[in-house]
Structure formats: C-alpha cells, structure tokens
A and B are shown apart, each in its own frame.
Chain A
Amino acid sequence: MYYYIVDPQKLSQREFERVQNLLYSSLSEYRVSGEVVRVTGLRTINQLVENAFVRGVKTLVAVGSEDTLHDLINAIGGRDIVVGFIPLFESEIGNILGIKNIEQACKTIGVRRIAELDLGVVNQNFFVSKLSFGLLQKTNNGFFSIFNYRLIRSLLNLPTIDIKFSADNQYQGSLKVIGGMIINSRNNNSADEKISDPTDGILDVLLVSKLTRWATIKHRKQILEGNYEKVPGSSLIHVKKIEILNPPGLPLRIGSRIIAKTPATIEIIPKTLKIIVGKDRKF
C-alpha cells in the first residue's frame, strides 16, 4: 500500500489545487493509487509517518520539497520501509534519483526500481545529499548570479574559518577555509562522479581554502556551483566518520536549512535507505 504525504509548503491554494489534480490523475494513470494525506500545522510529518507504520504501510512517498523528503527520512529513523519522492519544486535530490516532475515520478513509482542508498547522519539527523558550511550555496539562476556584483563582493568578503577535524579516528586535520561540503550524493553534471556516489559507503569532504581576490573572481562559477574540487587549493578527503571539533557554533546546512552546529559528528550509514529511483539516476 502506498501512503503519500503531501507537503504544499509555499504553494498558493490555487497552485496546490492544480498540483493535486495532476497528482491524482498521474497516480491513477500509473496504477499507484493509495492514501494521500496532507501536512498541516496540526498534522506534522512525524505524526503522519507514525500513522503509516500503525497501518502497516509498505511504501511511504514524500510529495513536496527536499525538506519534506528529509523530514520523512528522519521520521522513519532507519526503520525498514520503501521510500518514494515526488518533487513539487526544482530538486537536486530529484535529479540525483532520476525523478524530474510529478508525472514522471508517479511512473517511476509504478516501475518500482528500488536502490539502497547510504545515509549521512549528523548529530542524529539523516541526510541524503550533502552538508555544507561557510560558503553561500548556488542559486538556481546560476548563470546570472556569477555576474552579480553583490554576490561577487560577498564572496570576496567571506570570513575565514579556522577548522579542525578528526577523520575516522585515525588522523586530525586543521586548515583555514572559506567553506566546505560533506557529500553523500550531489547532482554534478560535469564534476567528478566518484564524489557523488550515494552507494559507495563513503563521505567525500571538500574544503575550500582562502583564495586571493583574483582567484575568487576567476573561479566564482565553480564556487557557486559547489564544484569545489575544481577550485585550486581545495582539499578532498574521503571518510566514513568525521568530527568537526572547531570552531564551535559553526552552522551546518542542508540546502539553506541549518540542521546542526559544531562540534558535530558526521557519519555514513551504508545502504540504509530503500528508495525508488528512476532509470536516469546519477549513480
């Protein structure tokens, strides 16, 4: 039985009704109908997931944004169930999973191709994609943003973070960075595919050192797109567990959402998430 948890978030009522109609018709067309419930102020994702477990649901589908999917995965908390995702907005995770829009997502659910993905966990919070700190994250209109004077100025004035970490309980590292990423998976069209495999049981850590003004301007596209490995002077290490020891209080984000602060322990739990993926998945 399918259990769809719909989280309309920023959608207007009119837009939501349009999306809902499309969702119902697609579910029916691909014969994946089930119970559809909506997140409200009184019915949180946690409560809805618990309801689903009580009813013996076998497949839970997050319908909404990446935050909806992350909230759903955290509510599941490692329990054995198949997860699906129907993105209502532009989504990096959707692209990683090979899911583009509502119709195609419903078709994918119908095909039911299941992959076992690694899950990153930071201070008890699970994540599928990547954790970042420091640097600003890419905008969707990246082409225009790289010529944006205010953005360039903010890149030039980024504060330096004196970071200290312990990796796999084997070695300690320290350096001055302007930002970094701890990657389980990411949507990288032209970047190194080895850094984005969510089935390799490894977290890839990219750290960007402080650059000269000229180097910052020259490599702003790579910085804004998160392809830090293409920025000269960046470090790349691969770990199963990393503890960020210093500085204290450094916000760790998934997208624009802060989910933890340092000191934090980030680990990978291999092949924990059973999720429905499309044939165009990136791994």
Chain B
Amino acid sequence: MAKPEQNPETIIASSMRIEGELKSNGNIKIDGIVSGKVHTSQDLMIGPNAQIDADLIAANAVIGGVVKGNLTVKESVLLLETAKIIGNISCGNLGIREGAYFSGNCRMQEPKQELNQE
C-alpha cells in the first residue's frame, strides 16, 4: 500500500490554486485547489483539505480530500476516512478506510497467477 510521503518534492499548499496540467517526475503533495490534470511518475498525496477537479495519474496515491475526476494509478490507491471521490479508479491495489466516499467504477489489474510446480 502506498505510504504517505514524508518529504514530497512538489508541494501545493492549502492557499494555492492551480489551473492547468501539473506534471512532475517526483512525488506530489496537494493541499490546495487544483483543476485540470495532475501527472506524476511517483507518489501522489491529496491532503484532507484539498479540492481536486482533475484527472490524476500516479504510481501510488493516498487520497484524503475531494477528487472529482478519474484516478489512474499503476500500483496502489488508499482512500482515507476524509476522502470523497467522484470518478473512476483504475489501479493495481485498492484500500478504502471506513468513512471514505467513492462514487464511480473501479477497475483493478488481475493479479498474476503464480505457477505452482508441485
């Protein structure tokens, strides 16, 4: 499961508003308002006060805020208690804490079957 990042490389604080396509090769932490698209090849953390109106693409994601948009994650997604997702999720692993709200479709990668030689 994705872990909350302690020292993210891009930080969008709660007072910041972003419109457009935010791309990064490092981790991203968002506590502010973002509309458009967010794309990172690393981890994405959406704080509890964040309001996202954007499609999100990341390797791992921890969601604590409001997201209106589709979430495409290569590995794992964790929806925290404060998360509110309106959109579709595509991921490898999904964790949902009690209290999270999710409205949309979820598509997960089928786990690879390990060959048993016995």
- Chain B residues, CB < 8 A from A238: 9-10, 24, 26
Inter-subunit contact B21/A170 (CB<8 Å):
yes
Complex: how many Å from CA A209 to CA B32? Answer: 12
Q: Which A17-72 residues have a C-beta within 8 angstroms of B?
A: none
- Chain A residues, CB < 8 A from B22: 170-171
Does B103 belong to the interface (CB within 8 Å)?
no
Inter-subunit contact A173/B17 (CB<8 Å):
yes
Q: Residue-by-residue, is B18-44 near A (CB-CB < 8 Å gives 1, otherwise 0)?
A: 111111101000001000100000000
Q: Pick the contact of A170: B16, B23, B26 (CB < 8 A).
A: B23
Q: Residue-by-residue, is A163-181 near B (CB-CB < 8 Å gives 1, otherwise 0)?
A: 0000000111111110000
Inter-subunit contact B16/A174 (CB<8 Å):
yes
Inter-subunit contact A175/B10 (CB<8 Å):
no
- Give the shortest distance, in Å, between A7 (CB) and chain B (any CB): 38
- Chain B residues, CB < 8 A from A233: 13-15
Does A192 belong to the interface (CB within 8 Å)?
yes
- Give the shortest distance, in Å, between B7 (CB) and chain A (any CB): 7
Name the residue on A nearest B21 (C-beta).
Answer: A170
Does B94 belong to the interface (CB within 8 Å)?
no
Count B interface residues, CB 8 Å: 20
Complex: how many Å from CA A206 to CA B69? Answer: 28
- Chain B residues, CB < 8 A from A194: 9
- Give the shortest distance, in Å, between A105 (CB) and chain B (any CB): 34
Contacts A172-B20, A173-B16 given; does A236 touch B36 at CB 8 Å: no
Q: Residue-by-residue, is B82-103 near A (CB-CB < 8 Å gives 1, otherwise 0)?
A: 0000000000000000000000
Q: Residue-by-residue, is B60-99 near A (CB-CB < 8 Å gives 1, otherwise 0)?
A: 0000000000000000000000000000000000000000
Does B106 belong to the interface (CB within 8 Å)?
no
Q: Pick the contact of A174: B17, B24, B26 (CB < 8 A).
A: B17
Complex: how many Å from CA A194 to CA B15? Answer: 24
- Chain B residues, CB < 8 A from A177: 15
Complex: how many Å from CA A210 to CA B13? Answer: 11
- Give the shortest distance, in Å, between A230 (CB) and chain B (any CB): 11
Complex: how many Å from CA A238 to CA B11? Answer: 10
Known: A173-B16, A175-B16, A192-B7. 7 other contacts (CB 8 A): A171-B36, A172-B20, A173-B18, A175-B15, A209-B13, A229-B11, A235-B13
Residues in A lying within 8 Å of B, measured CB to CB: 170-177, 192, 194, 207, 209-210, 229, 233-238
Chain A to chain B contacts (Cβ below 8 Å), 20 pairs: A171-B18, A172-B18, A173-B16, A174-B16, A174-B17, A175-B16, A175-B32, A176-B15, A207-B16, A209-B13, A229-B11, A233-B13, A233-B15, A235-B11, A235-B13, A235-B32, A237-B11, A238-B9, A238-B24, A238-B26
